Amino acid sequence: MTGSRQIGKTTLLAELIGGEKLPGLQSKAVFSGAHHPDKVELLETTTGRKTVVGHYENGSMQVQPEGFEAFGVRCIHTAATAPSEWVQIDELGFLERDCAAFADAVERLFEQKRVVAVLRKQQGIPLNDALLARPDVFVFDLDELIPPDSLQIGCVILAAGEARRFGANKLLAEFQDRPMLEQSFLRLPARLWSNTLVVTRNKEVAELAAAYGLPTITPEGAQLSDSIRCAAKSLKGLDGALFSVGDQPLCRAESLQLILRDFVAHPNAIVRLSFEDWQGNPVIFPGDMLLELEKLTSEQGGNTIIRRHTERLRSVQALFAEELEDADTPQKLNALRQIPRE
């Protein structure tokens, strides 16, 4: 099994094995702060024994190879000789990349046992690439499950604000070596949506959207309600629409997929990304509310509609609080640049 972070790989694995403790290994990130895990532990599923295989240092997770090469290899050998037909590994990721002895043990295990494994979805991991290429492996990608063909869901990227507090077009400001708006384009792949629209009044933004093959529409005015009305009218008839802003550079694709999955399960609800009690963006509105969004006036925004229908609101928790932060000033953007990412 593979798929984005927090999409439900471990939950599905638990359902598949029905609560059994199959021989094998499980990795677990240990958090004490909001931004990153302090360490990663490797756990032997049948005994509960564990060791540290990664620790956070200098802005990234650093591998402790001895954890894999001693403890990890020993646990795999134990699983290979266990009487169970099946063994489990949850998950294989980037920390194992440079641990050749561990990688060899895992590949031998696939020859010796039937293995149900969770693989981190990331390019450039030789062990994972080798396992995915095996002719005897069935790959189940949870990202391909949403949305079903029966639901037509649009995606709106709001990029028409005047950015008065920023003093320039903040959407074109650099973030992680690319214009900030590109972060939205990358985390909202067009394949997930029936229709994707970028709402803008700026020529450079429109050209950037065109480079990604994304159509643009132009609102009548600069107010937020103008952009929302314009988009809602264009998406009329769909089962729902996600409204996203272009200045949340740390919002993760995994969190966006969580709210999309929740809407697929509850297509009559308003689903919004939150963190604890903080209600933020993006928001998915069901199709019957697009007409109400078309009628917004003056300084009204999506919250006007949400307040009318609080009984239909569902909040989905983001992975990290900073995902909801917007870069509305140069100082705020610089602060967001300093937050480490895994």
Q: pLDDT-derived band of residue 35, with 50, 70 and 90 as boundaries?
A: low
Q: How far apart are CA 272 and CA 206, in angstroms?
A: 26
Range with lowest mean pLDDT among 23-32, 76-85, 183-192 = 183-192
Range with lowest mean pLDDT among 32-46, 137-151, 269-283, 321-335 = 137-151
Helices vs. strands in the chain: H and E counts, helices first: 12, 16
Whole-number pLDDT of residue 208: 92
Q: pLDDT-derived band of residue 34, with 50, 70 and 90 as boundaries?
A: very low
Does 151 score more than 50 pLDDT?
A: yes
In sequence order, the 6+-apart residues with CB closer than 8 A to the CB of 245 are: 157, 158, 184, 281, 282, 326
Q: How far apart are CA 245 and CA 183, in angstroms?
A: 11
Digit-coded pLDDT (tens) for 116-148: 999 988 878 899 999 999 999 999 988 776 666
The residue among 145 and 301 whose pLDDT is bigger is: 301
Q: Return mean pLDDT, the chain.
A: 89
In sequence order, the 6+-apart residues with CB closer than 8 A to the CB of 48 are: none
Q: How far apart are CA 29 and CA 142, in angstroms?
A: 21
The predicted model gives 200-223 an average pLDDT of 92
The predicted model gives 1-28 an average pLDDT of 84
Whole-number pLDDT of residue 313: 97
What pTM value is reported for the model? 0.66
Q: How far apart are CA 107 and CA 11, in angstroms?
A: 24
The predicted model gives 42-58 an average pLDDT of 93
Q: How far apart are CA 72 and CA 194, in angstroms?
A: 44
Digit-coded pLDDT (tens) for 235-263: 999 999 999 999 999 998 878 888 998 99
